[in-house]
């Protein structure tokens, strides 16, 4: 919970399902990602829902380096809500991977929002048709500290490929698309809700291909990261993609600090689930933003405010999701 939110809550009479508004609305920050992915428009849609339906509060989406940075922003109270991949969230909660020795046990899930599909994109004439073809090549693995890089490293390592085997470029989504278009790299990873604007824009100017993962590669990745799940990109999702593409996905979460006020989390959770059509109008990934997905996907405990809302609408909460 940010310093400004702590101060604002002191001015609020918290009771029941409502927050008594102060004289001036309090601004909440939502940590998202780069402008070329889904996080930023989705976070902007969340902000609009809060602005319209949570009395006494306004919100804004902040451009960030995505998942790993976002978990740290929650840990340090620099953001009030943050979007992050479930594998990164679990690593932060448990102190593994990029959070080795620096766990964030105060992380809580507010909602799960949509599955992120790993999309390994190349140009159609590049000759890249498998993970092994990346060896010796220049490949974008995502922005530094992003969930895309975490997913790319996990998939590659599970299949015997390390950064020593190719020339990794740490580029955000728009930079990756530009580098592919200009021939500066041969392939790039996206871990994002499909379809995403940066790939759509690339496909409008270049003939692209998406590298499928084999059954063995999928099994290796799931064995290495149990939060992964097989996922099929539908035919026609991008211009030039005529057949379904087998890949893998990771759920996306909105996380908050355990100290965030339960009534505020309840109010935001209720506003999002009960006005999800406003989010769908901004990005189709929000079609998966339903209570059932939160209960199926969260790898860490839910915030008490979320539990209260889900129980109120008739859902049972698994013991593993209780703080």
* Residue 87: predicted pLDDT: 86
* Under 8 Å between Cβ of 60 and 27: yes
**Which among 94, 88, 104 is positioned nearest to 254, based on CA atoms?**
88
CATH class held by domain 116-250: alpha beta
Angle at 73 between CA 16 and CA 322, to 5 degrees: 45
Q: Tell which wins on pLDDT, 302 or 283.
A: 302
pLDDT at residue 6 above 60?
no
Residues forming beta bridges with residue 114, ordered by sequence position? 252
Structural tokens at position 27: 């601004």
Pairing of strands 14-15, 18-19: antiparallel
Confidence bin at 15 (pLDDT 50/70/90): very low
pLDDT at residue 14 above 60?
no
The stretch 238-248 carries a mean pLDDT of 96
* Residue 19: predicted pLDDT: 52
Q: Please, which residues have CB within 8 angstroms of residue 13's CB and are 6 or more apart in sequence?
A: 20
Distance between CA 111 and CA 289 in Å, rounded?
8
* Under 8 Å between Cβ of 281 and 235: no
Structural tokens at position 114: 């949509």
The stretch 25-31 carries a mean pLDDT of 95
**Mean pLDDT, rounded, of the chain:** 91
Is the CA virtual torsion 279, 281, 285, 291 positive or negative?
positive
Structural tokens at position 65: 């380096």
* CATH number at 3-113+253-321: 3.40.190.10
Distance between CA 123 and CA 121 in Å, rounded?
7
The stretch 69-85 carries a mean pLDDT of 96
**Which among 119, 262, 250 is positioned nearest to 194, based on CA atoms?**
119
Dihedral of CA atoms 144, 233, 186, 168 in degrees, nearest 10, equals 20
What does the pLDDT look like over 218-232, one tens digit per residue?
999 989 988 887 888
The stretch 126-144 carries a mean pLDDT of 97
Confidence bin at 8 (pLDDT 50/70/90): low
Distance between CA 76 and CA 95 in Å, rounded?
15
% residues pLDDT > 70 (the chain): 93
* Residue 239: predicted pLDDT: 97
Q: Is 127 left (phi over 0), alpha (psi -120 to 50) or beta?
A: left
Question: What stretch(es) of the chain map to CATH 3.40.190.10?
Answer: 3-113+253-321, 116-250
What does the pLDDT look like over 174-189, one tens digit per residue?
999 999 999 999 999 9
């Amino acid at each position: 919970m940010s310093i400004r939110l702590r101060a604002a809550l002191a001015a609020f009479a918290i009771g029941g399902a409502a927050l008594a508004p102060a004289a001036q609305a309090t601004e909440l920050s939502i940590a998202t990602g780069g402008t070329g992915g889904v996080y930023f428009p989705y976070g902007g849609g969340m902000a609009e829902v809060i602005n319209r339906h949570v009395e006494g509060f306004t919100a804004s989406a902040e451009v960030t380096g995505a998942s790993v940075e976002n978990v740290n922003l929650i840990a340090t109270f620099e953001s009030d809500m943050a979007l992050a991949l479930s594998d990164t969230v679990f690593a932060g909660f448990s102190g593994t991977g990029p959070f080795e020795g620096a766990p964030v046990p105060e992380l809580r899930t507010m909602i799960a929002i949509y599955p992120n599909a790993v999309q390994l994109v190349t140009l159609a004439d590049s000759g890249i048709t498998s993970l092994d073809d990346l060896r010796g090549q220049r490949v974008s693995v995502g922005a530094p500290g992003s969930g895309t890089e975490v997913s790319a490293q996990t998939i590659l390592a599970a299949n015997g490929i390390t950064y020593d085997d190719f020339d990794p470029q740490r580029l955000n989504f728009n930079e990756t698309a530009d580098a592919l278009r200009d021939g500066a790299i041969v392939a790039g990873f996206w871990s994002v809700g499909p379809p995403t604007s940066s790939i759509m824009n690339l496909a409008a100017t270049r003939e692209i291909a998406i590298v499928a993962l084999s059954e063995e590669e999928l099994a290796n990745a799931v064995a290495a990261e149990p939060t992964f799940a097989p996922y099929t990109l539908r035919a026609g999702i991008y211009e030039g993609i005529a057949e379904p593409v087998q890949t893998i996905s990771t759920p996306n979460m909105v996380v908050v600090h355990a100290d965030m006020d339960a009534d505020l989390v309840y109010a935001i959770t209720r506003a999002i689930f009960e006005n999800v059509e406003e989010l769908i109008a901004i990005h189709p990934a929000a079609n998966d933003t339903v209570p059932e997905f939160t209960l199926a996907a969260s790898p860490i405990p839910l915030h008490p405010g979320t539990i209260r809302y889900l129980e109120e609408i008739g859902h049972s909460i698994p013991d593993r999701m209780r703080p």
